[in-house]
């Protein structure tokens, strides 16, 4: 097997891979709506991080966006109930191929009329 084949096998999802949805806990219906900017460090680029983040955020009903940064980190902005934002940050650390070593977060002002979550390029 060539070096290229070994690398491709290590960093791509198998053809029969299905994204597993984690068991969602009960969320507090009265949790405050917040907007949070997060920076994820570790093995977060080239492993489907943006796709998996968008998929899970949409399942949770969060809005915002996610994008790769030139320095190897990933930046995401999440808006929604605070307990769902806490959950997504923990759940991403348990996804295939992703290894988060550090998360930095800060609060932002809530953006009214935001309705979607998706990747930015």
Domain 32-111 class, CATH top level: alpha beta
| DSSP category for residue 57 | H
Q: Which of 68, 73, 113, 120 is catalytic?
A: 68
pLDDT of residue 68: 97
Domain segments of the chain as ranges: 32-111
Burial class (CB in 10 A: 0-12, 13-18, 19+), 68: middle
Q: What CA–CA distance (Å, rounded) separates 89 from 76? A: 10
Res 10: pLDDT: 64
DSSP character for 109?
A: -
pLDDT per residue, tens digit, the chain (121 aa), is 676 666 666 666 556 555 555 678 889 999 999 999 999 999 999 999 999 999 999 999 999 999 999 999 999 999 999 999 999 999 998 888 899 999 999 999 999 999 999 999 8
- Other beta carbons within 10 angstroms of residue 104's beta carbon come to 11
Has 68 been annotated as catalytic? Answer: yes
Q: Which of 8, 30, 43, 50 is catalytic?
A: 50
- What stretches of 1-121 adopt beta strand conformation (E)? 33-43, 63-68, 74-81, 99-108, 117-119
Model confidence, pTM: 0.80
């Amino acid at each position: 097997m060539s070096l290229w084949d070994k690398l491709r096998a290590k960093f791509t999802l198998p053809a029969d891979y299905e994204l597993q949805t984690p068991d969602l806990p009960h969320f507090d219906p009265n949790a405050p709506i917040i907007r949070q900017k997060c920076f994820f460090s570790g093995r977060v680029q080239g492993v489907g991080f943006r796709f998996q983040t968008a998929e899970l955020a949409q399942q949770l009903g969060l809005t915002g966006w996610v994008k790769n940064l030139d320095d190897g980190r990933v930046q995401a902005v999440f808006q929604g109930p605070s307990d769902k934002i806490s959950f997504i940050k923990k759940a991403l650390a348990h996804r295939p191929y992703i290894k988060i070593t550090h998360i930095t977060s800060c609060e932002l002002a809530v953006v009214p009329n935001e309705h979607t979550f998706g990747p930015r390029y």
